[in-house]
Chain A
Amino acid sequence: MQVEAYAGEEMVLNMGPQHPSTHGVLRLELETDGEIVRKVIPHIGYLHRCFEKHAENIDYPGVIPFCDRMDYIASMNNSLGYALAVEKLMGLEVNERVKTLRVLMAELNRVASHLLSIGTYAMDIGSFTPFLHCFREREKVLDLFEWLCGARLLYNYNWVGGVSHDIPEGFEAKTREFVTQFEPVIAELDKLLSYNKIFLERTADVGIISEEQALSHNVTGPNLRGSGIGWDLRKEEPYCGYETYDFEVPVGLGEHGPLGSCWDRYYVRVREMEQSLGLIRQALERLPEGDVHEHIPRRVRPAKSEVYDRTETPRGELGYYLVSDGGLIPFRVKVKSPCFTVLSLLPAIAKGGMVADIIAIIGSIDIVMGEIDR
């Protein structure tokens, strides 16, 4: 790209903290040279709510609602990671129905999260219509969740040793209906957005993350797979019985422009939704009988030990490092957020691009500030 032509006077530009396309309260300090960005300095912490300090002062089950509030777009996945980590700490096994329900909800939530990500991304780039389609569909998933546990965004659903509610009567049929109805919408989105010429021009040659950068910065999830690395924890270190499901891990292919571009990351998300629908179908088919409260302990009190456990959320690997001193309250809860690691790469990939590309890059790495600042 001949960006030198746009060079001019140097200026420091403050983007944020309240910028509609930063997906939360993120402040970027841009050192610009005309239209070209010479340097990006991200300032985070505007949404810091002392999650880790809070967690050291409440009992183990009490932490779950706080986990929900970190990545509020994908709460089901957040609390799942925490519940699994505590179960590992206690050596607790849950029954098959709980495992299947957890997979079902995690995948429904993944679809909802990717829909939001794709919809807002399209809007950042300047295409308004896909946003409406995505939110219409996301609404249906949220309705299902509301029916399931009464909440639309922050579910407090995955408990230590079980889940809060069994599915209501008729839930399976409604979910099947949603899956059948939603499948053609993905194809519609492809037609509407994915191969749109303007969209391709804005994203296909922008924000390239190389393999080395991705590994060194511990980029995970769809962002890593967009760079062509087929790494998914659901395949590599299965939990909740993911090893018994049949699904594929979509990776970026570099069909339009270089591998690891914004478009590749976007398209991995689209393909992932298809896989999630398959997983939802399989989970519904096998749903075994059982009591979802069967293994919930009266008192959560792990022995003195520590564990680092990670799960695949829609945004990548979410890790919980738990230290127990044998009491009722966790001694230390550290969260490794996938958004945190990918945002640390932003200065490297945004350098030398145009100001408008910053918007395209931030949308494509799909960050949620609640999880970065905790």
Chain B
Amino acid sequence: MKQASEILQTLQEQFPDQILKSSQECLQPFVVVAPAAVAEICAFLKNDPGLAFDTLMCLSGVDYKGSKTEPERLEVVYHLFSMRDRHKMVLKVELPREDAALPTVETVWAIANWHEREVYDMYGIHFDGHSDLRRILCPDDWVDYPLRKDYVQPQTYRGMPAAAEKQFAERAQEGEDLGTDPYRAG
């Protein structure tokens, strides 16, 4: 089992120019790396005999638009774990909100294939070299990326109404006569 500081040191020795930022003070220490190098770094983390990150626990996207504390950006977060040595690591990649793209890691961990499809589906982040980058949860012809903070829900989908209808309580508050009040009716 290796401490976060040791893992960071190994990474810094191996990729001195690609490590952009790191934090050890927070709840779970993380490392921010350059987008173009992420596949290379992940392959190293998995194959290095001293680190052996054999599982990708989670791959998530985050949209920081509208955050009170963080600058506006998209982020892809990799939660790695070594089942052999039982150490953990959080790897982050920061991307611009327009034309976000980074290399895929599906050849390193097979599960990344579906996780990356989900991030593409929800945030519109392109994974270069991905073998099957299609939408996974939304229909293939869905417009826009739902988990972006500035997403606007469409009114219709293929001619069907897609927006939520007003609840009865809302309609009553707006003063609509719903005909259910015995004191007001007739």
B110 located at the interface, meaning its Cβ lies under 8 Å from any Cβ of chain A in the complex: yes
A214 to B49, CA, bound (A): 20
One of B5-13, B37-45, B53-61, B176-184 at the interface: B53-61
* Contacting pair B139 A45 (CB below 8 A): yes
Annotate A284-299 by CB proximity to B: 1 below 8 A, 0 otherwise: 0000000000000000
* Chain B residues closer than 8 Å to A332, beta-carbon distance: 60, 62-63
**Among candidates B63, B70, B86, B110, residue contacting A325 with C-beta atoms closer than 8 Å:** B70
Q: How far is the CB of B30 from chain A (nearest CB, A)?
A: 8
Q: Given A48-B137, A50-B146, A215-B83, do A306 and B28 touch, yes or no (CB 8 Å)? A: yes
Are the CB atoms of A88 and B27 closer together than 8 Å?
yes
The smallest C-beta distance from A373 to any residue of chain B, in angstroms, reads: 6
**Do A319 and B79 touch across chains, with their CB atoms under 8 A apart?**
yes
Interface pair A236/B86, CB less than 8 Å apart: yes
Closest A residue, CB atoms, query B64 = A331
Interface assignment of A323: CB less than 8 Å from any CB of chain B? yes
Query: Is B147 within 8 A of A319, CB to CB?
Result: no
B108-137: CB near A (< 8 Å → 1, else 0) gives 011101100000001000000000000111
Write the nearest CB–CB distance from A243 to chain B, whole angstroms: 15
B68 touches A327 (CB 8 A): yes
Are B110 and A344 within 8 A (Cβ)? Answer: yes
Is A340's beta carbon under 8 Å from chain B? Answer: yes
* Majority SS at the chain B contact face: loop
CA distance A308 to B89 in the complex (A): 11
Contact A344 B147 (CB under 8 A): no
CB distance from B60 to the nearest CB of A (A): 4
**CA A306 to CA B64, docked complex, whole Å:** 13
Contact (A308, B79) CB under 8 Å given A334-B58, A334-B60, A344-B113? yes
Is A62 part of the binding interface, using a Cβ–Cβ cutoff of 8 Å? Answer: no
Produce 1/0 per residue, B83-114, CB < 8 A to A.
10010001000000000000000000111011
Rounded to whole angstroms, the CA-CA distance of A201 and B26 in the bound complex is: 53
* Binary contact readout A218-239 vs B (1 if CB under 8 angstroms, 0 otherwise): 1000000000000100001000
A307 CB-CB contact with B under 8 Å: yes
Docked Cα-Cα span, A89 to B60, in Å, equals 18
Interface size class of A (residues with CB under 8 A): 35 or more
The minimal Cβ–Cβ distance linking A26 to chain B, given in whole angstroms, is 13
- Which of A89, A236, A317 touches B27 (beta carbons < 8 Å)? A89
Contacts of A317 in B (CB 8 A): 57
Cβ-defined contact, B57 with A319, below 8 A: yes
Find out whether the CB atom of A308 lies under 8 angstroms from the CB atom of B57: yes
A2 within 8 A of B: no
Partner of A304 from B56, B69, B139 at Cβ < 8 Å:
B69
State whether B27 touches A44 (Cβ < 8 A).
no
Q: Is the CB of B68 within 8 A of A307?
A: no
Is A244 interfacial (CB-CB < 8 Å)?
no
Q: B146's closest neighbor in chain A, by CB?
A: A53
Which residues in A have their C-beta under 8 angstroms from that of B56? 218
**Distance between Cα atoms of A317 and B111 in the complex (Å):** 14
Chain A contacts of B139 at CB under 8 A? Answer: 45
Q: Are B67 and A325 in contact (CB under 8 A)?
A: yes
Task: List A15-59 residues whose CB lies under 8 Å from chain B.
Answer: 44-45, 48, 50, 52-53, 56
A219 to chain B: closest residue by CB: B111
**Closest residue to B110 on the A side, CB-wise?**
A216
Task: Decide if A218 touches B69 in the complex (CB within 8 Å).
Answer: no
Contacts A215-B55, A310-B57; A344 near B114 (Cβ below 8 A)? yes
User: In the complex the two chains form, is B136's CB within 8 Å of A45's CB?
Assistant: yes
In the assembled complex, B20 has its CB within 8 A of some CB on chain A: no
State whether A326 and B136 are in contact (beta carbons under 8 Å apart), knowing that A215-B54, A319-B58, A344-B110 are contacts in the complex: no
Instruction: Determine whether the beta carbon of A341 is less than 8 Å from that of B111.
Output: yes
Contact A325 B68 (CB under 8 A): yes
Contacts of A325 in B (CB 8 A): 67-70
1/0 per position for B13-25, CB-CB distance to A under 8 A? 0000000000000
Q: Which A residues have a C-beta under 8 Å from some C-beta of B?
A: 44-45, 48, 50, 52-53, 56, 88-89, 213, 215-218, 231, 236, 304-308, 310, 317, 319, 321, 323, 325-327, 331-332, 334, 336, 340-341, 344-345, 373-374
Residues in chain B within 8 A of chain A (CB atoms): 26-28, 54-58, 60, 62-63, 67-70, 77, 79, 83, 86, 90, 109-111, 113-114, 122, 135-139, 146-147, 151
Query: What are 17 A-B pairs at a CB distance below 8 A?
Result: A53-B146, A88-B27, A89-B27, A213-B110, A215-B54, A216-B109, A218-B55, A218-B111, A304-B69, A306-B27, A307-B27, A307-B28, A308-B57, A308-B58, A323-B62, A325-B68, A341-B111
7 closest Cβ pairs, A-B complex: A45-B137, A334-B60, A336-B58, A216-B110, A344-B114, A218-B111, A48-B137
